Amino acid sequence: MSASGPTQSLSLSLTPAAAAKAKESIAAERVPADTCGLRISVLPGGCSGFKYGLSIDAEPMSDDLVLETSGVRVFVDPFSAQYLDGVEVDHVTTMQASGFAFKNPNATGGCGCGSSFAT
């Protein structure tokens, strides 16, 4: 996968299940297909220090890294990029819940619910 925009390098991947769910979510939004993408961010908060954020954006911000992975355009801001290098995003369904899951090799800890992490 290659990044455009700022020169920072970022390795981020979506599993086939995550890519399919992201494409489904993007198609459901009323955003321009030629510029829209999945924003993956890291935000301060959560019980372990940081939490992940996902949204569909109509277009990237001027300083975003723009990646193409598994047929999905992904937007990552510079702050989040430092925490997302090497991350694999999956979409899992269990008997209790369904949602995106993050495999982050940079995380040194996390909470029991899996929605936040520490570095």
Burial 67-83 (b: 16+ CB within 10 A, else e): bebbebbbbbbeebbeb
Q: DSSP secondary structure string, 8-54? A: ----EEE-HHHHHHHHHHHHHS-S-TTT-EEEEEEEE-STTSEEEEE
Q: Which domains does the chain have, with CATH numbers?
A: 3-118 (2.60.300.12)
> For the residues 100-111, what does the mean pLDDT come to?
75
Over 60: is that where the pLDDT of 110 sits? Answer: no
The answer on pLDDT for 8 being more than 90 is no
Residue 12's contacts (CB-CB under 8 Å, 6 or more residues apart) are 1, 40, 67, 69, 74, 76, 84, 85, 86, 87, 88, 89
Rg (CA), the chain: 14
Measured in residues, the chain has a length of 119
Q: What is the pTM of this model?
A: 0.82
The answer to whether the CB of 1 falls within 8 A of the CB of 67 is yes
1-5, 27-31, 63-67, 87-91: the lowest-pLDDT one: 1-5
